[in-house]
Amino acid sequence: MAKHKNYTPQVDAGYGLIYRLNDLWNGADRKALAGDLDGWNHVLNALFRNLLYRGTMNVEYETDSKTNIKKVKLENEDSLIYIKFRDLIKTYKKAMRIALAKKDRFMYESAKGAYAETLELKDIWLRKFMQERGLYLREVEFDPSQAMWGG
């Protein structure tokens, strides 16, 4: 239990989220530049989870008593886009495994390229998703009339 019930933070809690997201983006960029596709995908998934804090969940119950939960799922267009990316990635990773088993280098490189392109699109989509929620720090605007005041 908190000792200071009347404590009010001096800084908005949103800064913590922004710092966490920026740290994840640094990790995503490092994984992407290193060619670690699976690592990149895992970081992008973590970013998506962090961006969904405002979203609602659709909960289905087994009975009308709302005691036994049957199914829980995300409920918005963004979740459908995420699921589409997830399914595409599964398809390309499966093709890569099949190509390895067949020792088909062309098939493997083709599937790996499609996987990388899908991750690039997922990365861009998540950056736009973050921007839509106003979670990027303000981009600098130069207004000469405000130069004296730091504008």
Give 60-113 pLDDT, tens digit per residue: 888 777 778 888 887 778 889 999 999 999 999 999 999 999 999 999 999 999
Structural domain contains residue 39: yes
Place of tokens 């390895």: 100
Q: What residues make up the domain containing 92?
A: 14-133
Q: Dig out the tokens for 7 from the structure.
A: 């404590």
Structural domain contains residue 142: no
Structural domain contains residue 30: yes
| Position 131 pLDDT exceeds 80 | yes
The whole-number pLDDT of residue 1 equals 45
Structural domain contains residue 21: yes
- For helices 105-132 and 77-102, the axis angle rounded to 10 degrees is 160
Bridge partners of residue 124, in order along the sequence? none
Q: Are 12 and 129 in contact (CB under 8 A)?
A: no
pTM: predicted TM-score of the whole model, two decimal places = 0.77
